[in-house]
Structure 1
Amino acid sequence: MTATATATAAPQATTALQTPPVPEARPETLGLSRSLLQAMSDAFKREIDKGTVPGVTVLVARRGQIGWFEALGKQGPTGDAAMARDSIFRIFSMTKPIVSVGIMALVEDGQLLLGDAVAKFIPEFASQKVGVVKDGKLELVPPTRPMTVQDLLRHTSGLTYEHQGDGPVHKLYQESRVRSRKISNAEHAALVASFPLVCQPGAEFNYSRSTDILGRIIEVVSGKTLGTFLTERMLAPLQMAETGFSTS
């Protein structure tokens, strides 16, 4: 659940379940401009020729039908594999909306409330302080209220990302193992809880590792790994056969 939206090509997965096809139609029948769609395609081709991006897939749909769908360039900066309409990508930060839907499913199940304190599920957050910089020094003060599940959903938790600034709290993130893929979600959550908050819960919006903590809450509440929960509750029922979650 990183903060970049860059996609990189990944090997295709073999599965017996196929994603249902979406019907296609001529752009004009959907109220789309063929000339403008072609201009968009030409712009992507120019970027590919300049080396800005190795390749792209372009899909424009309206009214439940696909009006424009094409694959351009190559799947990656190295290698000659051509981009295909069914190429599969690792797309960073797309875990965020899926995990958030997972949390809302648990809310609908009555297993948690948006106003629940995060510490109810992850005790390490009960002792977290807020970092305040005074005269160049980091001082720790108590939070005015507990961080809630809702704070995590809307990124008003007081958590942050190590690349979102260069203050004392950000440096604690940068100097830690928080980016390591060798630690579990439980270890990651405990580590994040050991850092001071950059602001009081609910006071500011800060794009952050909040969704990572939501993922850990899902594990605690459901008793399942995040990947298993997402597959069972959303990906499989919605026949999202080409979508999967991995911490690697």
Structure 2
Amino acid sequence: MTRWERTTLTFISQTSDWDRNRDTTSFIPFSISLLRELFGAYISLQLDFEDTYTAKVKAASPSYLNDLILNPGPLTALLEQHHYKTIYWSQIPEKNAFDDLLQALSSAVILPVTEPGVNAIILFGWSEPQTFDASARECLEIIRCRFKEILQQSHTQRIVNITVSRFTAIMHTIPQALVFISNDGHSGWVNTAAASLLDLDRSGEQPPHVLSLVMGKLINSAENKEVINKEALLLFTSPDSKMKDMRWEIPGNTLSVSCMPVDGIGKLWEFKRII
């Protein structure tokens, strides 16, 4: 096994569950530090394109390079010239877009990282000349793909979390009591009004057997429970059946109850108090 193959396997192993179990904001700094050690590079850094006038160095080793500001214009031109592919410099050009950053170094690799929320260059530099043969290039392309995969998954997860938080907040502010029970028999959910109505200790996720139990108690307390039970039987025997504005005569609290199928994944119950 070559040095580059070992580097690839080690990097994949060290980041195998990062997108699921760790804070992805630290993924790039961790990866740069790990790869610098695995590559035996003299310098490593992240160069963020903050705006049209500023490219700032971050996560650098040596650390004194941090916060160094470069002109992003020549850097962008370099990336465009190479079609935003990885750039391999076995011998660093005497005149290059990095000004004096690569002074006294022999070789460098530039990895463009342009994913949602990230517009950067990851750079590694060596004092000793490096030969980037087919094995080295394959290693670096696999690593670049791993960066892309984790950053895309992280972005998707952030969007999902934001969307879920937004709609959960909306559902909890609705005055109607809402109860969702899935068809899989493993998941259920109630909003704040439903938790209060059903005397649950919390809103949010609830096991379906708990929801069935408390809804059964609510039905048994109704003055017209026989009528409700007959209607409920029809609802449970057909996943596509629905009920609209049925009166549940709860002592001191008359409810208008609806039950609707939700895209084949479960049923949503809605309870409205009738004044």
Q: For this structure pair, what is the TM-score category when the shorter chain's length is used for normalisation? A: under 0.3
Higher fraction of strand: 2
State the TM-score, normalized to the length of structure 2.
0.22
State the TM-score, normalized to the length of structure 1.
0.23
Higher fraction of helix: 2
Structure number with greater Rg is 2
State the structure with bigger RCO (CA 8 A, min sep 6), 1 or 2: 1
